[in-house]
């Protein structure tokens, strides 16, 4: 098979990942996503390019960054550290001198060979736990060549593979990778197209088409459903999820991804606005209620992801 080596932009590699598919896994997070979900948990994944991140909690106000930046990205006003993200040219100079790791450049170029070498270091752990490799993001198919090459290499090495996808990619791309993917973690965000466009910036038509396509072609699928209280946890949406579950034999499980405002800090770190600033996290009662309703509508295998 011998997939060609390709470069891609990766923003995190998590070894011993337990939540992105079965067993012990290594999850590779890729940058770039075609959707723009208001609740996004990983806002740093959205842009297709590298970006500066600044964590105020870790900053000790030493001002080293101010001294080295040629673009005056960093400044202190009344003792407060301001960052003008737009002016940053990603030289990395400030990151180098920051003594407290408050600054980071998010996104690093890796080749698929480099990635697979890291992944294979844990092969035995995968084997003993029925785990493997998961490619997540962002949207893995946004870096299609890279993702496909990585999947092929993983299959060559005998690994179980999973990808987490938002469903928003060309049909042909799904067909192309299908032989190399053992499990799709497939996001479903809103039943109603209008709402889908409102929350994510895109229609859900293509997403549902691709789900149909994958199901008809024998893919193994886990539905991942981000639920945001008062936003997309309507009866209609819950019954829609259950309907998909019943319709497609290949859907093994429904995973509820309860809203958490972790995206708030991450957005702040990279200087982008976060729409759900004041949204409370989903509490245990709400989660229980969701599960009960999904069960009422006919879902059989539900878990909290």
Partner 1 sequence: MKKNFKTEIKFTRTYKEYINHHPAIREAHCLKAEFPDYFQPIQQNDLYAGRLKHGLVGFSPDEWGSTAFGYYILKPELQNILNDETTDEKTKKEIEEIISFWETENTSAKIRRSYPPEMAKYLPSDDWMNQSGIAFPLYRLTGGNINFKKLMQLGLPGLRKEILSKLATAKENNLDEKFYEGSLIALNVINDIIDYYIRDAETQKELADAENILRLNNIIDTLKLIKDSRPKTLREGIQLFWLYANAADVRNYGRMDVYLGDLLANDLDCRIITEVEALKMLQSLWQLMADKHTVVHNRVIIGGKGRANENNADRFAILAMEASRTVLEIEPQLSLRIYEGMNPDVFDKALEVIGEGRTFPIIYNDDVNLNSVVKAFGFTEKEAEQYVPYGCGEYILEHQSFGTPSGVINLLKALEVTLHNGIDPVTKKQMGLALGTFESFKTFDDLWNGYKKQIEHYVRIMADHEALEYNVAGEVAPYLLMSMLYDDCLEKGKGIFSGGIRYLGGTLETYGNTNTADSLLVIKKLIYVDKSVSKEELLKAIDNNFIGFEKLKKKIADVPKYGNDIDEADDMLLKVHNHVCNYVRDQKDRVGLHSYMIVNINNSANTLMGRSTSASADGRLAFTSMNNGNTPTSGNDKNGITSLLNSIVKPATDIHAGAVQNIKFSSQMFTEHKDELKALLKTYFENGGAQAMITVVNRGDLENAMNEPEKYKHVFVRVGGFSARFVELAKDIQLDILNRTLY
Cβ within 8 Å of residue 25, ≥6 positions away: 16, 17, 18, 126, 131, 132, 133, 134, 162
Q: Is 150 in the site for partner 1 (CB under 8 A)?
A: no
Residue of 3, 28, 35, 73 that binds ligand SF4 (CB under 6 A): 73
The site partner of 91 among partner 1, ligand SF4, none (C-beta below 5 to 8 Å per kind) is: ligand SF4
- Helix 235-247 × helix 284-296 angle, to 10°: 50
The site partner of 121 among partner 1, ligand SF4, none (C-beta below 5 to 8 Å per kind) is: partner 1
Q: What sign results for the dihedral spanned by CA atoms 54, 65, 108, 89? A: positive
Of the pair 229, 243, the CB lying nearest partner 1 is at: 229
Tokens of 42: 């990983």
Q: Choose the stretch contacting partner 1; rule: CB under 8 A; options: 86-94, 146-154, 197-205, 252-260.
A: 252-260
User: How far is CA 151 from its chain centroid?
Assistant: 17
Q: Choose the stretch contacting ligand SF4; rule: CB under 6 A; options: 25-33, 61-69, 283-291, 292-300.
A: 61-69
Of the pair 122, 182, the CB lying nearest partner 1 is at: 122
Tokens of 14: 């998590």
Q: Is 102 in the site for ligand SF4 (CB under 6 A)?
A: yes
Q: What sign results for the dihedral spanned by CA atoms 262, 268, 271, 273? A: positive
Alpha-carbon span 17 to 116, nearest angstrom: 16
Alpha-carbon span 298 to 182, nearest angstrom: 25
Question: What is the nearest approach in angstroms of partner 1 to the Cβ of residue 108?
Answer: 14
Residue 260's CB: how many other CB atoms inside 10 A?
A: 15
Q: Choose the stretch contacting ligand SF4; rule: CB under 6 A; options: 10-18, 32-40, 59-67, 122-130.
A: 59-67
Of the pair 92, 243, the CB lying nearest ligand SF4 is at: 92
Buried residues in 146-174 as b, exposed as e (16+ CB within 10 A): bbbbbbbbbbeeebbbbbbbbbbbeeebb
Residue of 21, 32, 131, 137 that binds partner 1 (CB under 8 A): 131
Q: Are strands 132-136 and 160-165 parallel, antiparallel or unpaired?
A: parallel
User: How far is CA 14 from its chain centroid?
Assistant: 12
Q: Is 62 in the site for ligand SF4 (CB under 6 A)?
A: yes
Coil, strand, or helix at residue 32? coil
Q: Is 24 in the site for ligand SF4 (CB under 6 A)?
A: no
The site partner of 245 among partner 1, ligand SF4, none (C-beta below 5 to 8 Å per kind) is: none
**Spatial CA neighbour of 96 closest among 57, 67, 61, 56:** 67
Task: Please identify which residue in the block is written with the tokens 């991450």.
Answer: 266
The site partner of 17 among partner 1, ligand SF4, none (C-beta below 5 to 8 Å per kind) is: partner 1
Tokens of 199: 């929350």
Site residues (CB under 8 A) for partner 1, limited to 8-37? 14-19, 23-24
Q: List contacts with partner 1 (CB under 8 A).
A: 14-19, 23-24, 41-42, 55, 57-58, 62, 64, 96-99, 121-122, 124-125, 127-129, 131, 224, 226, 255, 257-260, 262, 264-265, 281-282, 304-305
Q: Would you tell me which residues interact with ligand SF4 (CB under 6 A)?
A: 52, 59-65, 68-69, 71, 73-74, 81, 88-94, 97-98, 100, 102-103
């Amino acid at each position: 098979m011998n997939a060609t080596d390709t470069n891609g932009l990766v923003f995190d590699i998590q070894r011993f990942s337990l939540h992105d598919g079965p067993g012990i896994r290594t999850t590779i997070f890729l940058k770039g996503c075609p959707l723009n979900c208001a609740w996004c948990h990983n806002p740093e994944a959205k842009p297709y390019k590298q970006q500066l991140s600044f964590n105020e909690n870790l900053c000790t106000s030493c001002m080293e960054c101010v001294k080295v930046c040629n673009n005056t990205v960093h400044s202190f006003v009344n003792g407060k550290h301001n960052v003008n993200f737009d002016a940053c040219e990603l030289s990395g100079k400030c990151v180098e001198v920051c003594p407290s790791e408050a600054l980071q450049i998010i996104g690093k170029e890796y080749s698929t060979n480099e990635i697979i070498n890291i992944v294979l270091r844990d092969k035995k752990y995968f084997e003993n736990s029925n785990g493997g490799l998961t490619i997540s993001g962002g949207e893995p198919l946004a870096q299609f060549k890279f993702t496909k090459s990585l999947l092929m290499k993983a299959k060559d090495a005998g690994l179980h593979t999973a990808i987490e996808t938002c469903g928003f990619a060309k049909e042909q791309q799904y067909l192309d990778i299908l032989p190399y993917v053992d499990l799709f973690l497939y996001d479903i965000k809103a039943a109603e197209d209008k709402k889908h466009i409102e929350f994510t910036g895109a229609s859900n038509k293509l997403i549902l088409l691709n789900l149909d396509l994958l199901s008809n072609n024998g893919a193994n699928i886990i539905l991942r459903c981000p639920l945001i209280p008062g936003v997309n946890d309507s009866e209609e949406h819950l019954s829609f999820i259950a309907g998909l579950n019943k319709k497609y034999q290949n859907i093994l499980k429904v995973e509820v991804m309860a809203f958490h405002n972790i995206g708030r800090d991450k957005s702040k770190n990279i200087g982008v606005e976060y729409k759900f600033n004041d949204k409370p996290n989903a509490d245990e009662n709400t989660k229980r209620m969701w599960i009960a309703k999904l069960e009422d509508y006919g879902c059989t295998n539900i878990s909290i992801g």
